[in-house]
Each structure stands twice: as C-alpha cells, then as structure tokens.
Amino acid sequence: MELADAEAAGSSPEAPAPAESAPAEPGGLPGLVHDQLLPTRSSSSRVIVHVDLDCFYAQVEMISHPELKGKPLGVQQKYLVVTCNYEARELGVKKLMNVRDAKEKCPQLILVNGEDLTRYREMSYKVTELLEEFSPIVERLGFDENFVDLTEMIEKRLQHLQSNELSAVTVSGHVYNNQPVNLHDIMHLRLLVGSQVAAEMREAMHNQLGLTGCAGVASNKLLAKLVSGVFKPNQQTVLLPESCQDLIHSLNHIKEMPGIGYKTAKRLEVLGISTVRELQTFSSKILEKELGISVAQRIQKLSFGEDSSPVMPSGPPQSFSEEDSFKKCSSEVEAKKKMEELLASLLNRVCQDGRRPHTIRLVIRRYSSEKHCSRESRQCPIPSHVIQKLGTAYRMMLPTFRMDVLNLFWKYPERHTMKCALLIF
C-alpha cells in the first residue's frame, strides 16, 4: 500500500493554512511539459473517507475508567508518553514526550501503563467491523486509522434521490478553504453525500463504542488522509477538487506527505527539494535517474495530489506479533523470562484465531540515538507436529517455542540494549 510506508507523515494543521491558489487542476494522470510533471483533469468519481480516532489509547483508558474523563491523562510505554488526551495537551504534554518532561510540564498528569496492547487491539477491530457495516471496502492503517471506500454506496444513494432532493443536499462538517459548493457538479454532490455518510459513521462509533474521531472526505486516499487532520478533535472536513492544490501546498515540508518516507525525504533534500512546489517543478528526468523511474513517478504524482492506490480490505491479520524492550538483556535467565511472557500472549492470540501458523520470526531493533535504526530478523519453520498440537492448551507448547526463539536470539552477536519483536505467521 503506497500510504502505509509513510515513515514521517506529519499531522496536518489544526486549521486550514492560507495558501496561494494554483491554476493546476487536480486529478488524473500527469503530463510532461518542458521536462516537468503537470497535472491534468480527471473525472475521478471515487469517494474515500479517512477515519482517524482521537488520542485512541487514552480514549480506551477513559472508557474503561470513566473517572479519568476530564483529567489530564497520558498513556505510558517504558519511558515515553505515547499518547495523551486533549486535556493533557492543553497543559503542554505532547505525544512521545519523555515521562519526566511530561510530569514537569504537567505535575497533575495521570499516567496509565499502556504496554499491554490487548484492549487497544480489540477496540481497534471493533471500529473496523463497525465501519464495514457501511462499506465492505475498509483498510486498516494501524490501530487508530481506517480508509473506507464509499464510492459504490454513494452512487446508490444518489440514484435514489429525486431531482428536488439533489438540490437540497448539504455538507456535514467543514469544507476545506470554505470552497463554494456547486450542486450541479456531480463530483461535488458525491463528496457532499460522502460527508453525510462520514458523519453517520462517526456518530455510530460514538453511540456504539464511545469513541470520537476525525474524518476526511476526498477523491483518493492521500487527500482524505491529509484533510482529515485539518480540524481536530472530533470533527470532519471534505475536500473539493478545486482546493486540492491549496491543501497540498499547505504542507511545510515534503516529509509531511504520506507516502514519502524518511529515507526518500533525505534523498530529496540532497537534490535541493524540501517543499511540495519544489518537487512539482523538479526535472522528472533527473528525479528518475536519482530515485528510479517507479519511485520518481509515484512521488511526483503524490506532490500533485494524485493517488490511484485502491482501498485494500484488510481481512484477518496475516501475522501476529508481540514486542518489548530487552534492555541489557544478555543472560539466558532474563531472555527466557522475557520470551515466555511474549510467547504466552502471542500463542493465546494465535489459538483464538484458529488458523495454523507455519513460521516464527524474531526481529531485533537496536537502541540508538538516531530516530531510524536498523532492524535484523531471524526466522525458522514451526515443526508440523507442533502445529498439529496447537489448540486451547497453548501453554503446553511454550517450552518448545521458547527453545526455538532462544536459538534465534542467541544467533545475534550483540544482544545489549535492543528491542525485540516476535512474529508468528
């Protein structure tokens, strides 16, 4: 999925940033003029919604513990506040802030341990299942985000509307840049009806699950994701085609563009490209020479708001994983204890799923002062006789799996200050 590898997708601004209007029209496949990629008009009829849950982990904690509502709350994993509610944010706490710094900023901050992901995972799948009641085409993006393709549903709704009802269609939520709505434009109509469905989805999430979230409605995944974060929290925004370039140009840096990861952004900076406008006007031939034809064409299309990637129904997960830090864990006793903790949770999930796995993999990510550090992995097949015995009595299989994982663990020459993840698939 093109958007899933956004290593450094920054959040959109809280309110629309002013931007110069651009004559280029969004949509369609770009064309080449004077060795630059230019957008061309398209009759794109897709309606895509990006649903982004507000401070998800914190919401799950407040649902489980209603007494925490209205109080500054942070969810702690190791030494970081991985997320916090808006009461905490108003007092200066930020996501991924060191716990000590967060407590200095907000002494009254309440911290809950969020290292056990079970409840978050379960609620996340409940959200996806609810969204699938509106459309079968739902793609999960982490625990707290989903793409929903409403195109077919919107077409059916429009077919059932009489001509006098079409003229009365209104938008739910915000229109990006306060762009005037033209009810004679079929794309505008589709997006407006999409905004109504998005509001219905958000209302259902709140009524049935107690969750709030933002939504972005646009003609593709890229634009829907970008526009969903414009008004936060618990709001939604629709992007009309005429405002596509304004939204794209409101990004402060290309690293804020979903689909352009950390390494690609660094390579673009070496070429002197740091803004969307610079990427749009950069020589396509040079870009293809430096990055390869496929990557160059893809990211230059993204810079114009072009994204033809489909919403891919996620279905059951293809692998199960558990991870934890193994700081300075080099003794066999320490390793066995950690592995058994991870394996117990992992095998329980596998058995509940009912499918039979065939491989176990150990992934090592070394601690580093750098934000992006290297990963290594080792894997081995699960013996057929072990697969046959996997059932409700998963704890009986722990010794066998533990030895397999320990054998993988000891293959790493450096086992100090690392983070380990176990995957079964």
Strand residues in 353-415 grouped as ranges (E): 359-366, 375-381
Task: Give 333's contacts (C-beta < 8 A, 6+ positions apart).
Answer: none
* Spacing of C-alpha 218 from chain mean position: 17
The CA-atom distances, in angstroms, between 348 and each of 230, 401, 409 are 40, 13, 21
Question: Using CA atoms in the order 113, 74, 10, 144, what is the torsion angle rounded to 10 degrees?
Answer: 60
Secondary structure (3-state) at 424: strand
Distance (Å, whole) CA 153 – CA 130: 15
Distance (Å, whole) CA 285 – CA 36: 9
Copy the structure tokens of residue 369.
């002062």
Secondary structure (3-state) at 359: strand
CA distance between the termini of the chain: 20
Secondary structure (3-state) at 207: helix
Query: Any idea which residues carry the catalytic annotation?
Result: 145
Distance (Å, whole) CA 11 – CA 306: 19
Task: Give 261's contacts (C-beta < 8 A, 6+ positions apart).
Answer: 5, 6, 7, 8
Distance (Å, whole) CA 279 – CA 269: 10
* Spacing of C-alpha 303 from chain mean position: 19
Task: Give 241's contacts (C-beta < 8 A, 6+ positions apart).
Answer: 25, 26, 27, 44, 187, 219
Distance (Å, whole) CA 237 – CA 116: 33
- At CB < 8 A and 24+ separation, what contacts does 315-318 make? 316/353, 316/355, 318/425
